[in-house]
Amino acid sequence: MFQYVYLDLQIQELKIQSKPKDEIVEKIKELLTFMEKNLAKGLFILTGGNDLVRFTKKYGLTNQEPFKLNNIRHKYYSIPNA
């Protein structure tokens, strides 16, 4: 659980420092990877659908549309540069 908080704080810090969106999205992907690896612990709820989109909205990166890579419906999404 502390790792989640640590990654969340890193994302918040990147936002405060006005870092590029790509850098923030990479950190969000790192957070989602951590969450996916710990699903069995019952601490996190991921839908497996648009988790990256949902989390980019959560962190205020809203004017971006996802596109699917290799027709994979879950886990791996990229956000094009705005």
pLDDT tens by residue, 11-55: 999 999 989 999 999 999 999 888 888 877 766 667 766 788 888
Nearest to residue 78, comparing CAs of 48, 53, 45? 53
pLDDT on residue 49: 66
Q: Does 22 map to a domain?
A: yes
Alpha helices, H only, the chain = 2-16, 21-37, 51-58
The count of domains in the chain is: 1
Q: Does 72 map to a domain?
A: no
Residue 14: domain span: 2-61
Cβ atoms of 31 and 40 closer than 8 Å: no
Q: Does 79 map to a domain?
A: no
Cα 79 from Cα 42, distance rounded (Å): 28
What is the rounded average pLDDT of the residues 64-78? 44
The pTM assigned to this predicted structure is 0.67
Non-local CB neighbours of 29 within 8 Å, separated by 6+ positions: 52
Q: Does 43 map to a domain?
A: yes
Q: Does 66 map to a domain?
A: no
